[in-house]
Amino acid sequence: MNQLLELFLTFARIGVLTFGGGYAMLPILTREVVDTKHWVSENDVMDYYAVGQCTPGVIAVNTATFVGYKVKGVAGGICATLGVVFPSLCIITAIAAFIRNFAHYPAVKNAFAGIRVCVCVLILQAVLKLIKKAVIDIPTAVIYGIIFVLSLLTDLSPAIFVLAAGIAGIALTIAKGRHIREGGTKV
């Protein structure tokens, strides 16, 4: 029971400190669940982010669910999910009740503009960290480059990019395995 409460409180703290969505949450999440609590590895977090991006729902909620599930099964997944959602629910409810009364004030407009800039920095930081962990060799750099260019030049669904990158990763794994079996050196 203590670990379930700890999951809830940890993810509630992450939820209350995270502005800007799931990507902005990555540095705080990594510090809490990898560095401080040692519940999962950094590679686990990157995998959960990747899967969380591909599955329906909010990436922060999906990632919290994965971490909670790994730590304490279904009950852990539920507690972590409730923890990450609870602060947002409370804050959004409070803001919604008062935003119309204050949104027109220049100080409020400027505060939101400053928050948007900060969120951009946090998202960029998360993206750079993800790139460092994901692009580990020439083949992954090629996959990254192709998907990046295609995402800029086409209106294809992100699901198609994820599926194509997954297939390319599987093909690379098979090709590397075949190369090693045929007497080549490991790539």
What would the pLDDT profile of 69-104 be if each residue is shown by its tens digit? 999 999 999 999 999 999 888 888 888 887 778 878
DSSP state of 184: P
Most confident of 24-38, 59-73, 102-116: 59-73
pLDDT (0 to 100) of residue 149: 95
The answer to whether residue 125 scores a pLDDT higher than 70 is yes
Residue 65: per-residue pLDDT: 92
Q: Which residue has the higher pLDDT, 4 or 94?
A: 4
Q: What is the dihedral of CA 51, 11, 114, 46, to 10 degrees?
A: -30
CA geometry: angle at 95 spanning 21 and 91, to 5°?
55
Torsion angle (degrees, nearest 10) of CA 141, 142, 143, 144: 50
Q: Is 3 helix (H, G, I), strand (E, B) or coil?
A: helix
Tell if the pTM clears 0.85, that is, is over it.
no
